[in-house]
């Protein structure tokens, strides 16, 4: 399995690569010294399965790199682990707002690195939410209750916009965008401990994703009808989650 390791600090980069190689799990590491090089490597190696990205890189920062990756349909589902010495609330919020829920705090330990790589690579068990409850989500992401509430509120607002756009869709190009956005929202709600909402976006991803590779004029009436129905179906779950935001414990 090919893993991209991007860090402008050579010591951290070499240590990370040594840890991954020591696992004897078939990991093949691909190093990058900055964000621009990391982007070029990813484009040249679309078989990369995981990216471990430092936030403070010259040229193209880790956050800018993530933005570019998530905007590209080829890499929208690429698992990304953020490696940083800054795990303050603002950093966690900025990263999580981009759909990334896995952090490695510097200095990192071998067991932690291998555990988090394994966790983002393994497929979720069918019917089992990635995060079972809100408390487990906070523990996994190492965030406090206020940050958790803020993140959930942020994604509830984004989900509201998704549902509205789905109900108002009137052209095929928007369906493709909705499918990509659904994938990001599914991942984020699962990471944040809202499996019911994540499941609805999984449905949307599965249904609308089938149209991403079809011609623009393919089955337009049926496609738009499904998008409208998905918007109606997802909205109640979003509203229920909004109601519990003030009850997080």
Residue 199 is predicted with a pLDDT of 85
| DSSP letter assigned to residue 237 | H
Report the distance separating Cα 153 and Cα 170, nearest Å. 28
Hey, CA dihedral for 168, 93, 69, 135, is it positive or negative?
Answer: negative
- Rg, the chain, Cα only: 19
Residue 3 is predicted with a pLDDT of 95
CA–chain centroid gap for 183, Å, is: 8
DSSP three-state, residue 35: helix
Residue 130 is predicted with a pLDDT of 43
Report the distance separating Cα 244 and Cα 14, nearest Å. 44
Written as one string, the DSSP assignment of 136-183 is HHHHHHT--HHHHHHHHHHHHHHHHHHHHHHHT--SHHHHHHHHHHHH
Buried b (16+ CB within 10 A) or exposed e, 180-215: bbbbbbbbbbbbbbbbebbbbbbebbebbbebeeee
Contacts of 77 (CB under 8 A, 6+ apart): 183, 187
Residue 42 is predicted with a pLDDT of 94
pLDDT in tens, the chain (249 residues): 899 999 999 999 999 999 998 887 789 999 999 999 999 999 999 999 999 999 988 888 999 999 999 888 888 888 899 988 876 777 777 887 777 778 888 888 888 888 888 877 765 444 444 444 677 777 777 778 888 888 888 889 999 999 999 988 887 777 778 888 888 888 888 878 888 888 888 888 888 877 665 555 556 777 788 888 999 989 988 988 888 887 665
């Amino acid at each position: 399995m090919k893993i991209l390791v991007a860090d402008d600090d050579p010591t951290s980069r070499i240590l990370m690569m040594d840890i991954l190689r020591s696992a004897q799990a078939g990991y093949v590491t691909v190093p990058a010294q900055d964000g621009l090089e990391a982007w070029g490597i990813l484009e040249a190696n679309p078989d990369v399965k995981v990216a471990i990205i430092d936030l403070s890189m010259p040229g193209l920062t880790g956050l800018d790199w993530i933005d570019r990756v998530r905007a590209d349909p080829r890499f929208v589902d690429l698992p990304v682990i953020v490696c940083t010495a800054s795990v303050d609330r603002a950093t966690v919020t900025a990263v999580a707002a981009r759909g990334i829920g896995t952090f490695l705090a510097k200095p990192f330990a071998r067991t932690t690195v291998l555990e988090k790589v394994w966790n983002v690579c393994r497929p979720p068990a069918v019917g089992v939410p990635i995060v079972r409850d809100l408390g487990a989500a906070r523990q996994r992401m190492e965030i406090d209750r206020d940050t958790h509430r803020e993140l959930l509120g942020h994604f509830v607002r984004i989900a509201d916009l998704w549902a509205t756009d789905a109900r108002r869709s009137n052209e095929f190009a928007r369906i493709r965008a909705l499918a990509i956005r659904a994938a990001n929202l599914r991942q984020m709600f699962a990471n944040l401990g809202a499996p019911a909402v994540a499941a609805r976006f999984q449905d949307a991803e599965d249904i609308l994703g089938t149209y991403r590779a079809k011609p623009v004029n393919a089955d337009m009436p049926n496609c738009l009808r499904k998008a409208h129905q998905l918007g109606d179906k997802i909205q109640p779950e979003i509203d229920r989650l909004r109601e519990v935001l003030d009850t997080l414990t």
